[in-house]
Amino acid sequence: NAGVTQTPKFRILKIGQSMTLQCTQDMNHNYMYWYRQDPGMGLKLIYYSVGAGITDKGEVPNGYNVSRSTTEDFPLRLELAAPSQTSVYFCASTPTPGDRGISSYNSPLHFGNGTRLTVT
Amino acid sequence: AQSVSQHNHHVILSEAASLELGCNYSYGGTVNLFWYVQYPGQHLQLLLKYFSGDPLVKGIKGFEAEFIKSKFSFNLRKPSVQWSDTAEYFCAVNARGGTASKLTFGTGTRLQVTL
C-alpha cells in the first residue's frame, strides 16, 4: 500500500508556463483534496473531489483546474503559472463515508509528500 | 464558515519542558477537531482528533488535547517534550455535515526543542 503518491517532488516553472501536478492513491478513497501550504499561512484548500467525475472548488481555486476521471487519480493543472503560485502543494484523501463505519467528517486526511513549486 | 486561530507562531523549549499550544476556532455548529504534525521535510500526519465523547483525547507520542466547548478551544499539550518533537503543528477543524470533510487549518506553530 503506497498511500498517496505525488509527482514531481520539485519543479521550477517560468511565468506563463503550464504544468500538471500528479496525485494518485491506492486506498480506494473516494474523497480527494488539493491543498497549498504557504509559510505562515497554514494550508488552504484549492479543489476537492467526492468521487470520480465530481469536483468542486475550495477556498483558493483561481488559477487551477482539476479533473477526476478515475477513483485513483486527481491531477491539478496550472495553465498560466504566476509567481503567486509558488508554494508547496499537498494532495490528500479520506475514506469513503459509510465504508466500515467510517465517516468522512472525522476520518483523518492521508497526505502525500508534497510538490514544491517555484514560479520565476 | 469556520476559522481557526493559533496564537503561538514559534515556540522554543528545552527538552523535558512542558508544552501547551493554543488553538481556538470559530463556528456556531458542531465540529470535529484535529491536530496534525509536520516533521521537517515530511508530509502532515495526524496527531490526534476529537469528534465526540471524552473531551480529553490522547494521541500518539504522548500528546493530548482538551476540547473546551465553552471556550471554543482545543489546546495541545505534552508534559515533557523531546528533541524529536521539533516540528510544525497545525490545528484543524471541520464542520459536521456537508459533502466532504474539508478541513480548515490554522496557520501553524513551529516548535523548536533544544537539547
C-alpha cell at B5: 486561530
Please count the helices (runs of H) and the strands (runs of E) in chain B: 0, 12
- Residue B68 is predicted with a pLDDT of 94
Q: How confident is the model at residue A102 (pLDDT cuts 50, 70, 90)?
A: very low
Top pLDDT among A77 and B60 is at: A77
Residue A100 pLDDT level (bands cut at 50, 70, 90) = very low
> pLDDT (tens digit, 9 = 90+) per residue, A3-32?
999 999 999 999 999 999 999 999 988 889
Q: How far is residue A100 from each of residues A95, A96, A103, B45, B105, measured CA to CA in Å?
A: 10, 9, 9, 22, 27
Contacts of B36 in chain A (CB under 8 A): 109
Q: Establish if B3 touches chain A: CB-CB under 8 angstroms.
A: no
- Looking at the complex, does the CB of residue A109 fall below 8 Å from at least one CB of chain B? yes
B chain contacts of residue A43, beta-carbon cutoff 8 Å: 44, 90, 103, 105
Contact at CB, B49 and A108, closer than 8 angstroms: yes
Distance from C-alpha of A40 to C-alpha of B106, rounded to nearest angstrom: 9
Rounded to the nearest angstrom, the minimum Cα separation between A49 and chain B is: 8
Interface touch B101/A112, C-beta < 8 Å:
no
In whole angstroms, give the CA distance from residue A54 to residue A34.
14
* CA nearest to B78, candidates B65, B93, B91, B92: B65
Local confidence band at A36 (pLDDT 50, 70, 90 cut-offs) = very high
DSSP string, B65-107: EEEEGGGTEEEEEESS--GGG-EEEEEEEEESSSSS---EE--
CA atoms within 13 A on the CB side of B18: 4
Residue B23 dihedral angles phi and psi, to the nearest 5°: -145, 125
In which residue ranges of chain B is pLDDT below 70? Answer: 96-101
Which domains, ranges and CATH numbers included, belong to chain B?
3-114 (2.60.40.10)
A4-119: CATH superfamily: Immunoglobulins (2.60.40.10)
